[in-house]
Amino acid sequence: MIKTDHTHDPAAQSWVVSANQASSEFPIQNLPFGAFRRRGSDEDARIGVAIGDQILDLRHAAELGRWSADIQALLAPLAQGDLNAFMGQPPAARLALRHALFEALLTGSKQEAALRTALLAQSEAEMLMPCRVGDYTDFYTGIHHATTVGKLFRPDNPLLPNYKWVPIGYHGRSSSIGVSGMAIRRPWGQRKAPDAEAPVFAPSQRLDYELELGAFVAGGNALGEPIGIEKAEQHLFGLSLLNDWSARDIQPWEYQPLGPFLAKNFGTTISPWIVTMEALAPFRCSFERPAEDPQPLAYLDSAQNRAQGAFNIELEVWLQTAAMREGGLPAQRLSQSNFRDAYWTVAQMLTHHASGGCNMSSGDLLGSGTQSGPLPEQGGSLLELSQGGKQALVLANGEQRTFLQDGDTLSLRGRATAPGARSIGFGDCWATLLPARAA
């Protein structure tokens, strides 16, 4: 398990002044990785580290900074724009680079003069996919979401018998994952009304979002070789926000018996920065099950996972309609929840995924499933907040929503907090819904 060290000192400050502001998501205690290019250019993707409102361009940093031979070797793939290669490094190597970057960006660093020219304002950058995502699997770890949605369809039996025993998941499409700022096109698909004799092929009318976190794999395993729960943390690189867009009227017709298909594969949005597991060390908390619930089977259980397997990450959903933008009105918060309420940890997700010998690779993405809170107003999707479309949400400007409408911009936000620690963020995860393509 990754431990806290001097890079988490809440008093530490950077010579990048904007990183020291209390509102900054990217203080020196964070140092997340992302990919970018200068806005308006056609240059190749570059890997950078967010610091305040700036990006430290690691290609320039590798050229301009003074680094030990070991650190220079770790910077080499990053300088070439290959985050996946760095993700495959052992945990000790990833930690060593974090230490080196922290020291270089710390107030009073001898690297300041050289590295100032390696900075680019985030406002001048176009953010790209942070790494190559070879495979994507979405889980269902939000028990409050699973219970609420289950009640809509099975009032007397909302949770199926396997839910509390096995981390449920399905394989999604990595090809349709995009970074924050992307546009989402309303999808077409088969949908069937309960009283209709036959389905129709038409645009979805019940387009929804799902508030999730994504976990990126660091270093893989050979085919046929499981990843034990005691080693799972070594194979996790970091977390991002994730919006698993969902067509609720396509989903119920097509998902039986093999699970989600077109209702999910038209788009998934992630935040542009991967917050590393090292940065998240201060925000770990205990993972506990209610005493009356079945405890995890042995292969999914460890003292370490029970003690520190969960994370205290506050999550929010914000909506800005087209009318709000035209009227100069800000986005409105729809709900808030916390990742510590997840029924399974990221280590358990990875362990179960590989338990049958499935080979994971650096950059593989695991979605957490919708993270809702225990209260009705803490739903992580409109399906929950509108009670399946039966109860419209009334927005501050008088508009109503049961599901998303064309022109809506949906944003996810996340912030890790803990007493005595400097809070860190993930950056916005947003996208705007476009109309369906013409027939």
pLDDT tens column, 165-220: 999 999 999 999 999 999 999 999 999 998 999 999 999 999 999 999 999 999 99
Q: What is the pTM of this model?
A: 0.96
- Residue 99: active-site member: no
Over residues 234-258, the pLDDT tens digits come to 999 999 999 999 999 999 999 888 8
What domains, with CATH codes, occur in the chain?
6-128 (2.30.30.230), 136-434 (3.90.850.10)
- The answer to whether residue 1 scores a pLDDT higher than 80 is no
Dihedral of CA atoms 227, 232, 238, 243 in degrees, nearest 10, equals: 70
pLDDT for the residue numbered 153: 81
Over residues 12-65, the pLDDT tens digits come to 999 999 999 999 999 999 999 999 999 999 999 999 999 999 999 999 999 999
Q: Which of 8, 144, 145, 235 is catalytic?
A: 145
pLDDT for the residue numbered 127: 98
- The answer to whether residue 439 scores a pLDDT higher than 90 is no
pLDDT for the residue numbered 307: 97
Determine how many CB atoms are found less than 10 A away from the CB of residue 117: 12
Residue 398 carries which DSSP code? S
- Cα-based distances in Å from 357 to 220, 224, 233, 241, 313: 11, 4, 17, 27, 31
pLDDT above 70 as % of the chain: 100
Over residues 302-320, the pLDDT tens digits come to 999 999 999 999 999 999 9
Residue among 58, 50, 162, 163 at smallest CA distance from 115: 58
Residues paired with residue 270 on neighbouring β-strands, in sequence order: 179, 242
Q: What angle do CA 87, 138, 256 make, to 5 degrees?
A: 155
The first and second tokens of residue 241, run together, are: 């926000």
Confidence of residue 420 (pLDDT cuts 50, 70, 90): very high
More confident residue, 271 or 194: 271
Determine how many CB atoms are found less than 10 A away from the CB of residue 230: 14
Q: Hey, CA dihedral for 258, 260, 262, 265, is it positive or negative?
A: negative
Confidence of residue 267 (pLDDT cuts 50, 70, 90): very high
Mean predicted lDDT score pLDDT of the chain = 96
Q: What's the rounded mean pLDDT across residues 371-386?
A: 97
CB 145 within 8 A of CB 383: no
